[in-house]
Amino acid sequence: MQSSTLLFNTNLNFPPRRLKFLLKPAIFPPPTNRVGLISSRSRSRMASFAGLGVAVDSEVATSRTVGFQTLTDFMGKGRANVGDDLIVLLTHLQYACKRISALVASPFNSELGKEMGHGGGVDSFAGRDAPKPLDLVSNDIILSCLRSSGKVSVMASEEDAAPVWITDDGPFVVVTDPLDGSRNIDVSIPTGTIFGIYNRLWELGHLPTEEQALLNSLQSGSRLIASGYVLYSSATILCLTFGSGTHAFTLDHSTGDFVLTHPSIKIPRRGQIYSVNDARYFDWPDGLRRYIDTVRQGKGQFPKKYSARYVCSLVADFHRTLIYGGVVMNPRDHLRLVYEANPLSFLVEQAGGRGSDGKNRILSLQPVALHQRLPLFLGSLEDMEELESYGNIQQKLTESKSLFASGQLLRSSLARHYVVLSHLTLVQHSNAMTISWKLLEMNPEVYSAWNYRKLAVENNLRSLSDDPDSIKALLDRELTLVERALRRNCKSYGAWHHRKRVLSKGFSSTDLEFRLLDQFLKVDSRNFQGWNRRRFVAGLENQS
């Protein structure tokens, strides 16, 4: 009878005393020696599983892996056929995730809080979202591996207040939540890493590095070239898409390879599971309560009772939904668009599902802030369609508070970012008019914001080229909005200039314009822009 001898690997276990080396993600050398009570007869029949192994027949292990494809093979000569640069990037990224997997499974990770203290982190985070020690170590591990790859120009992380510029010649941009669900580690609930990969916007090369980093990180989810998550649970699973299907790979600890175990995942068109924090039921809007009550009783479009499953770890709940179908949701504006919603929506759409904020497709939204939050609903196509048909399902949407109260969007430099995005035809989103007007309501003196507004109006006019009535309604609405801005600040050069541009599209009444100008000039008779505008209108009247 084969003895079940344990094998101890000193290189893959963390020392119980000093953990400061974890703050230096450049280490973690590959294993070089093994220590254990292993007989020479059984040595050839052993396989190590992350440093702790049991005796396994090598022939059985070999037969088990025959026919399986590793992630590297899949990307290279397999069905993905991605470029060499992306293969190098993902090779380093998967190595980072292996290290994080070992970190969260270590019996000594609880010592990190004592070694690092709990007062550190990014100043802009507080409360339950303040970075935990494991978040910061995971963030450093990923940053170190991306820097080593030489293929990434910018990394934007949920744990950092601003994007990190890595190298001047990297062709890719990576956004990531390094360790989602880290609050659950003390009770051994599954955690995960989420990431998205974009092509770098070389057109922005003339801008300062800080602006390049921000603009590259604020790309729409529709421009993702790859995204994925890694689930750290009873198995370590990497789920990935390159835009042509969703595939899952499981870490084989005996070889250190991610092996393809779930090719071409297709989420069921309908599931029987919903995943949400039921404790907030009485805070939900009426539409969401009615949906949950209906499907729970089996009275929805699918005549079977739904079950509730909620782990409170986004990656774990999403992974179950991806395999079994159903809906995973957070109806509050809590999850981050850049780091969580976009990558996971790309994955679920490639598997045949849908990602939504309750009203709009996630991948169609243009991020306007790095840490922008929103409600998130992901799942089976038919379940999502039924859920959205109930209308009011967003618990709270405080866009004006979450995006604009901090004041960062009032800086003309950030308004200029949106102008650049529009010039690059990256902003093809429906809320451009809303965003620009919120900027101007907060501070009508930001001239770059008026330029952004101009581009938004011009995009709308192009789409309405065959509808004169709609064009007139749009221009009239713009004149009303500009008038409101001028009543707040009649010295706003941008407002006067925008009004001139709007009126040049279709001038209505010189009498109305004279009356409005006279009102402003009575308030401020030295207003140069008002007098200049009056002269322009008088010239138009003479021409007519």
Which residues are the active-site residues?
A: 129, 135, 158-159, 177, 179-180, 340
**Cα–Cα distance measured from residue 387 to residue 456, given in angstroms and rounded to the nearest whole number:** 31
Distance from C-alpha of 427 to C-alpha of 449, rounded to nearest angstrom: 14
Q: How far apart are CA 13 and CA 498, in angstroms?
A: 64
Burial 335-374 (b: 16+ CB within 10 A, else e): bbbbbbbbbbbbbbbbbbbbbbbbeeebbbbbbbbbbbbb
Q: What is the residue type of 289?
A: R
- Which residues are within 8 A (CB) of 226 and not within 5 positions of it... i.e. 6 or more apart? 82, 86, 90, 196, 197, 240, 241, 242, 243
List, as own/partner pairs, every contact residues 290-294 make where C-beta atoms lie below 8 angstroms and the sequence separation is at least 24, other chains included: 290/390, 291/386, 291/387, 291/390, 291/393
Backbone angles phi, psi at 293, to 5 degrees: -60, -40
* Separation CA 249–CA 238 (nearest Å): 5
DSSP bridge partners of 229: 194, 239
Evaluate whether 355 touches 345 at the Cβ level (below 8 Å).
yes
Question: How far is it, in rounded angstroms, from Cα 398 to Cα 385?
Answer: 24
Please report the sign of the dihedral spanned by the C-alpha atoms of residue 127, residue 315, residue 22, residue 103. Answer: positive
What is the 3-state secondary structure of 77-90? CCCCCCCHHHHHHH
- Rg over CA atoms, the chain: 28
Instruction: Give the CA angle between residues 64, 67, 73 to the nearest 5°.
Output: 115
